[in-house]
Amino acid sequence: MADTALRVSAASSADKRSGLQKLMQRKSTIAFLMTLPLIVLIFTLVAYPAGYALYLAMLNKAMTKFVWFKNFDFLFSRDTFWMVVWQSCLFAISAVVFKAFIGFVVAHLVNNIPGKKQRKWRGMLLVPWVIPAAMSTLSWLWLFDSSYSAFNWLLEPLGIGPIPWLGETGWARFCVILVNVWIGAPFFMIMYLAALKSVPEQLHEAAEIDGASWWQRIWYINLPMMRNIIAITALFSTILTFANFDIVRVLTRGDPLNTTHLFATWAFRLGIESGDIPLGAAVSLFMVPILAVGATIILRDINKRGSEV
């Protein structure tokens, strides 16, 4: 006993002499030093631009004066702003619902294709997702073109049209959603297909013996077993869709009358094209809280489910 007490006191007096050395040997210090590069990286790539955007959003148009929250006040008072909020929500939610639904159905169809053929189909169905969105949107632009629309040409013999695809608010909104679904659905398909493959075949056999029809097996077995992937994919895609820029930019540029603008495209219109950078920054900042809520839900969900399974 006495012996150990002696040694401890000796050790502590030695520690006092080299405080820095002790600090260096503490585990938390080492951990901090090792994560320092990452912290610096995050700061320069995330915190600094975010702070700068916040700062920009509080300047006047000529960027000469600090005006606090005037820009936000101005936005709230404009109808276009509320329309962009509404359009962004409509766009994101309906596009994700359709992508999820189509992805789910196609995943089941593909999963029922036997063996080698399945690989081919999987590859082909992924094409829309793999092509750079701006490029494929350009092809869609030609398909919707007001004078040369291939769709109108096909519909004409049926006595339908000509439809002003991109010229009328309702149709234009339909078109941007359609193109987004076309590009995004394969991602859902591949995620759901992977989830589907992880449902053990025996559960289906057990359910079949328990008397479940094909439809009941999807409802009672596949759907609950794929719940995690369905939720995470949908939330993830909601964030990306919400922040979409390229499709709207290429297809409609926000027209007609700004009715197809999303936050990102409207911010671009105001900030870059109209030269009011602070106002554009203010608009783009509105995405942050909405996306933050989404991201938090995803992360919490993954954590919770992770400990559950």
Partner 1 sequence: MAQVTLRKVVKKYDEVLAVRGIDLDIMDKEFVVLVGPSGCGKSTTLRMIAGLEEITDGDIAIGGDVVNDVPPKDRDIAMVFQNYALYPHMNVYENMSFGLKLKRTPKDIIDQRVRQAAQILDITELLDRKPKQLSGGQRQRVAMGRAIVRDPKVFLFDEPLSNLDAKLRVQMRTEIKKVHQKVRTTTVYVTHDQIEAMTLADRVVVMNGGNIEQVGPPNELYHSPKTKFVAGFIGSPAMNMVPCQLEASGDALKVRLSDTLSLAVPASRTARYRPHVGKPGLLFGLRPEHLTETRPHLEADMQTFDVKLDVTEPMGMETLVYFAINGIDICGRVNPNAGARESQTMKLCADMANMHLIDDKTEQVL
H/E element holding 249? Answer: helix 246-251
Label residues 90-102 b or e (16+ Cβ within 10 Å = b): ebbebbbebbbeb
Reference 86, options 236, 231, 225, 263; nearest CA is 263
Q: With respect to partner 1, which residue has the nearer C-beta, 126 or 302?
A: 302
HSE-up of residue 168 (Cα within 13 Å, Cβ side): 6
Whose tokens are 């829309």? That residue is 128
**Which of these segments, 57-65, 168-176, 196-204, 286-294, binds partner 1 (CB under 8 A)?**
196-204
Which pair of structure tokens corresponds to residue 122?
């999987």
Which pair of structure tokens corresponds to residue 75?
């936005």
- Cβ atoms of 305 and 228 closer than 8 Å: yes
Site map for partner 1, 227-256, x if CB under 8 A?
x-----------------------------
C-beta of 187: minimal distance to partner 1 in Å?
25
Q: With respect to partner 1, which residue has the nearer C-beta, 129 or 220?
A: 220
C-beta of 227: minimal distance to partner 1 in Å?
8
Q: Given candidates 115, 211, 289, 306, which one binds partner 1 under the rule CB under 8 A?
A: 211
218 binds partner 1 (CB under 8 A): no
206 binds partner 1 (CB under 8 A): yes
C-beta of 221: minimal distance to partner 1 in Å?
7
What is the distance between the alpha carbons of residues 228 and 76, in angstroms, rounded to a whole number?
37
Q: Given candidates 189, 221, 229, 239, which one binds partner 1 under the rule CB under 8 A?
A: 221
Q: With respect to partner 1, which residue has the nearer C-beta, 49 or 200?
A: 200
Q: Given candidates 2, 209, 289, 307, which one binds partner 1 under the rule CB under 8 A?
A: 209
| CA 264 to mean position of chain CA atoms | 13
Q: Given candidates 213, 274, 296, 303, which one binds partner 1 under the rule CB under 8 A?
A: 213
Whose tokens are 């919490």? That residue is 300
| CA 253 to mean position of chain CA atoms | 20
Q: Given candidates 197, 205, 299, 300, which one binds partner 1 under the rule CB under 8 A?
A: 205
Q: With respect to partner 1, which residue has the nearer C-beta, 221 or 283?
A: 221
Angle at 235 between CA 230 and CA 236, to 5 degrees: 100
Total interface residues for partner 1 by CB under 8 A = 19
Q: Given candidates 170, 202, 215, 307, which one binds partner 1 under the rule CB under 8 A?
A: 202
**Which of these segments, 28-36, 106-114, 172-180, 224-232, binds partner 1 (CB under 8 A)?**
224-232
DSSP designation for 18: T
The CA R_g of the chain, rounded to the nearest whole Å, is 27
C-beta of 121: minimal distance to partner 1 in Å?
22
- Cβ atoms of 57 and 281 closer than 8 Å: yes
Residues that bind partner 1 (CB under 8 A): 200, 202-203, 205-213, 216, 220-221, 224-225, 227, 309
